[in-house]
Amino acid sequence: MATRRFDAPDDASLNTFYDDIADKDLQPLWELSGLLTPAPKVQAVPYRWRGEELRELGERAGELVPIDRGGDRRVLSLSNPGLGGAPYATATLWGAVQYLGPGETAPAHRHTPAALRFVLDGEGVWTLVNGDPLHMSAGDLILTPSWTWHEHHNPGDTPMTWFDALDLPLVEALDAMFFEPGEGRPAPSGTAERSTSEIRFGGGPGLLPGGASAPAPAHSPLLRYQWADTDRALAGQLAEAGTGAERTGHAHVRFADPTNGRDVMPTMRCEMHRYLPGHTAPAERHTGSALVAVFRGAGAVELDGVLHSLAPGDLVAIPSWTSVRVLADEPMDLFSVSDTPVLEALALYRTETRGD
């Protein structure tokens, strides 16, 4: 925001006034431009990172960079070219790929930014959340909510790469960052077929633990959403004759807190979409930003009119108010994470469908 100097030579008193307000760290609104734009002026740009390249670079990091030199986490962050070199995928979301080799451990820590993992490929790592071991397998969504202790263990003999998303840029903008390393805490031992979280809250559709319940946390108490369940829900929508999904060729589910139907965490909404070739979902744009991970299938996404091909493992940044249209060459499964709950809570959520 630049302040324009009034440069009429005979108006010395006005120029002195401008000097005086600047001297007192004030700015005149009447000289400011670009403040109230008719629509969001977004710095992040629509962008697609190729899964093939992310996988290869993650593996090279695994060979070259020991996990201690990687600051406890071997993470390659998505740096949106519109954000001036910041390690952020959008204005509010951090996106990354993380690589953990056989036998490696990413030690416990906690921070106020909330995180989630979506597993693009492979299995065999356990993420412990407050000591509860969550098995990670292809297509699973794993939550590590704000201020929960978390660590990753790979006791197997194959490396694993996954997609990380965090609300870190948002937490930073709100000046609410706190971090605590886990040093000195006993190293929890690690693996189980099913976490306590899944035993209690993943017992089956509509089944919650009986008896007195503890005060509800601000996030879903179910911390792992298994691919088999997500896949069944999507396939079911597409098979249900005469319904929206069956007619349009586009099924989608929202990952929810099973106790109240709210989003999995206060700052992030997670969804899984399945598009069939020839589906008829229209182009749409909305306020707030999103990251998309291609799980399976192939196609393309048109972002503000520019077509980007999509293959498994590709990651896409969709800044606020970007028009999005998906094209499927074969059935295509897309995981998405967005800051929509924040926009909704603040009554700033707007959406527009092409033709509106």
Q: In whole angstroms, what separates CA 269 from the centre of its chain? A: 8
Binding mask 49-88 for ligand 1HN (x = CB under 6 A): ------------------------x-x-------------
Min dist. Cβ of residue 339 to ligand 1HN (A): 16
With CB under 6 A as the contact rule, which of the stretches 92-100, 199-207, 239-247, 256-264 interacts with ligand 1HN?
Answer: 92-100
**Which of 115/317 has CB closer to ligand 1HN?**
115
Query: DSSP 3-state assignment of 144?
Result: strand
Q: Does 98 bind ligand 1HN (CB under 6 A)?
A: yes
* Strands, sheet with 141-144, edge to edge from the N-terminal-most edge strand: 75-77, 94-100, 160-166, 115-118, 141-144, 224-225
What Å distances lie between residue 51 and 97, 181, 295, 314, CA to CA? Answer: 10, 31, 10, 4
334 binds ligand 1HN (CB under 6 A): no
Among 91, 96, 291, 342, binds ligand 1HN (CB under 6 A): 96
Contact window for ligand 1HN (CB under 6 A) among 24-32, 44-52, 90-98, 340-348: 90-98
- Of 78, 125, 168, 303, the residue at the interface with ligand 1HN (CB under 6 A) is 168
Interface with ligand 1HN, residue 115, by CB under 6 A: yes
Choose the binding region for ligand 1HN from 94-102, 130-138, 279-287, 290-298 (rule: CB under 6 A): 94-102
Closest approach of ligand 1HN to the CB of residue 297, in Å? 26
Give dist(CA 90, CA 290) in Å, integer: 8
Residue 100 phi/psi, 5-degree rounding, is -130, 120
* Smallest gap from residue 117 Cβ to ligand 1HN (A): 7
273 token code pair: 């979409």
Which is closer to ligand 1HN, CB of 82 or CB of 87?
A: 87
Report the distance separating Cα 232 and Cα 95, nearest Å.
27
* Phi/psi-derived region of residue 272, left when phi > 0, alpha when psi is between -120 and 50, beta in every other case: beta
100 part of the interface to ligand 1HN, by CB under 6 A: no
Binding to ligand 1HN by residue 276, rule CB under 6 A? no
Q: Is 132 left (phi over 0), alpha (psi -120 to 50) or beta?
A: beta
Query: Binders of ligand 1HN: how many residues, by CB under 6 A?
Result: 13
Please count the CA atoms within 13 angstroms of the CA of 226 that sit on its side-chain side: 15
Bin 6: left if φ > 0, else alpha if -120 < ψ < 50, else beta: beta
Residues that bind ligand 1HN (CB under 6 A): 73, 75, 94, 96, 98, 106, 111, 115, 150, 152, 164, 166, 168
